[in-house]
């Protein structure tokens, strides 16, 4: 039987990372696909755990070597991508790989893995709520907040291109639904 993979996408601030962390904490069969990025590390992030933080030049070398399943320049010199070698290593260990990526990257991953992947779009209840969440993070400048909200408005129009849509208006409910989606797709109980 082929390996199963699960993808959580949505606008920045939708709650996809919180959902993925919850799922990972509740199962040893799940593992996280750590994306590579050229953006600055936030104070709460750990290199190699949250992202592989690399330089623009190194990222471009990986592009030239065809090392990515998908990659995107989300903002000027702000690259994000999924390294093939990382995912292959997890699959060889018979893990269910969880992805937490932006919408464009998610659609590319969905195309790459086909039926072996469950693609979930995490949607905030509104753009206004999304703005409140991004402001509460205290990690955005006024300019980056404006860019993220503009991108989010566009990304919300992509929801119907995913296998499932999970509206995150109540975190506890969203976590329950996410766990049920994963269990139904993989055929195993997370807490087992």
Q: How do residues 29-57 score in pLDDT, each as one tens digit?
A: 999 999 999 999 988 899 999 899 999 99
Neighbours of 106 (CB within 10 A): 27
- Count other C-beta atoms under 10 Å from residue 112's C-beta: 15
119 vs 66: CA distance, rounded Å: 23
Domain that holds residue 128: 5-186
133-177 tens-digit pLDDT: 666 766 667 777 677 777 777 788 899 999 999 998 898 999 999
Considering the chain, what is the average pLDDT of its residues? 89
- Strand 5-9 to 68-75 pairing: unpaired
Classify residue 122: in a domain, yes or no: yes
Tell me how many domains the chain contains.
1
CATH number at residue 117: 3.40.50.300
- Provide the whole-model pTM: 0.84
pLDDT of residue 42: 86
Helix axes 171-186, 16-25, angle to 10 degrees: 60
Tell which residue, 64, 83, 161, has the closest CA to residue 120.
161
Q: Is 55 domain-assigned?
A: yes
Beta strand 5-9 pairing with 96-101: parallel
Question: Would residue 192 count as lying in a domain?
Answer: no
Q: How far apart are CA 19 and CA 116, in angstroms?
A: 20
End-to-end CA distance of the chain: 21
In a domain, 191, yes or no: no
Dihedral over alpha carbons 48, 52, 58, 62 (to 10 degrees): 100
């Amino acid at each position: 039987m082929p390996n199963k993979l699960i993808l959580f996408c949505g606008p920045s601030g939708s709650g996809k990372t919180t959902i993925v962390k919850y799922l990972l904490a509740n199962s040893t069969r799940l593992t996280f696909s750590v994306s590579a990025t050229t953006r600055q590390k936030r104070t709460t992030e750990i290199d190699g755990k949250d992202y592989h933080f690399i330089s623009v030049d190194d990222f471009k070398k990986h592009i030239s070597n065809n090392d990515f399943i998908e990659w995107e320049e989300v903002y000027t010199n702000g690259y994000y991508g999924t390294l093939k070698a990382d995912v292959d290593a997890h699959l060889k260990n018979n893990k269910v790989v969880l992805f937490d990526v932006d919408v464009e990257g998610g659609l590319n991953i969905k195309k790459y893995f086909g039926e072996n992947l469950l693609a979930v779009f995490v949607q905030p209840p509104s753009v206004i709520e999304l703005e409140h969440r991004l402001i509460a993070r205290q990690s955005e400048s006024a300019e980056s907040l404006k860019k993220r909200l503009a991108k989010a408005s566009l990304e919300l129009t992509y929801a119907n291109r995913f296998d499932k849509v999970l509206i995150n208006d109540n975190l506890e409910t969203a976590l329950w639904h996410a766990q049920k989606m994963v269990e139904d797709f993989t055929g195993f109980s997370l807490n087992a």
